[in-house]
């Protein structure tokens, strides 16, 4: 008999490609989570039709219908409870959440951000990475805390920045990695392998000590020279 899967609501505002990656992962036999609902603050969000076609419950909580951020979040919170959500995955959800809402879901709400945090918090991360001239860029899955894009980091994925990259080409390279690490990070939390404790990520996972990345890639020859000289 399999372990009971944790119920996850995914919050989106647009395209929803990360949400789709989570849905695909949830269909794997050993996946420790199931997607119980996809909720959008944007009625026109493209991801909603994917979710509906996939047989997943959807809901719209349109922030424009509320007089205050608090009133919007109250209904959002109630909606999450209606679907019996145990975890919340923000996936391109473009509303800033108040500390009160965040506190209610502390340790149970994740976000994916398209940069190697703590670099490039906020918007336009790929443009800013190109402007800064970094050689390695990437994405981060973290627990959500009251400070924007600052919660404890669960997983990161890195990509090289290539000389002729544009914002779009870099975004596409990072997005592929987002689709890999978000399901992996959510599975770690849903299975109880990692959790948030005193503002840090603690848990019982195996890290590969030998894993490292460099960009531009160091060739075998120059690496050998470094080691032997």
- 9 near ligand GRF, judged by CB under 6 A: no
In angstroms, the Cα distances linking 113 to 51, 137, 181, 207, 228 are 21, 12, 11, 22, 39
Residue nearest to ligand GRF (CB): 92
What's the start-to-end Cα distance of the chain, in Å? Answer: 57
Count of residues in contact with ligand GRF, rule CB under 6 A: 14
How far from the centroid of its chain's Cα atoms is residue 71's Cα? Answer: 25
Rounded least distance, CB 115 to ligand GRF, Å: 9
Strand order in the sheet with 87-90: 58-60, 33-40, 6-12, 87-90, 109-113, 136-143, 153-160
Interaction of residue 170 with ligand GRF, rule CB under 6 A: no
Catalytic, 179? Answer: no
Q: Which of residues 114-133 bind ligand GRF (CB under 6 A)?
A: 114
Q: Exactly one of 5, 7, 17, 74 binds ligand GRF (CB under 6 A); which one? A: 17
What number of other Cβ atoms are within 10 A of residue 29's Cβ? Answer: 5
Marked catalytic residue, from 63, 77, 113, 142? 113
- What is the contact surface with ligand GRF in residues (CB under 6 A)? 12, 14-18, 91-92, 112-114, 139, 175, 178
Residues known to be catalytic = 113
């Amino acid at each position: 008999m399999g372990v009971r899967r944790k119920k996850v609501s995914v919050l989106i505002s647009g395209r929803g490609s990360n949400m789709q990656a989570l849905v695909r992962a949830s269909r794997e036999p050993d996946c420790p989570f199931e997607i119980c609902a996809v909720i959008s603050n944007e009625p026109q969000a493209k991801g909603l039709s994917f979710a509906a076609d996939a047989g997943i419950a959807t809901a719209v909580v349109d922030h424009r219908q509320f007089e205050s951020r608090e009133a919007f979040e109250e209904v959002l919170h109630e909606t999450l409870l209606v679907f019996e959500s145990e975890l919340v995955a923000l996936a391109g959800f473009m509303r800033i959440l108040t500390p009160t809402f965040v506190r209610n879901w502390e340790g149970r709400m994740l976000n994916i951000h398209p940069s190697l945090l703590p670099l490039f918090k906020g918007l336009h991360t790929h443009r800013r990475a190109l402007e800064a001239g970094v050689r390695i860029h990437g994405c981060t899955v973290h627990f959500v805390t009251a400070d924007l894009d600052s919660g404890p980091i669960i997983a990161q994925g890195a990509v090289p920045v290539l000389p002729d990259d544009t914002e779009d080409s870099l975004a596409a390279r990072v997005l592929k990695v987002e689709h890999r690490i978000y399901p992996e990070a959510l599975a770690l939390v849903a299975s109880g392998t990692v959790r948030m404790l005193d503002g840090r990520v603690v848990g019982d996972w195996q890290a590969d000590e030998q894993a490292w990345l460099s960009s531009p890639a160091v060739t075998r020859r120059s690496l050998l020279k470094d080691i032997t000289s």
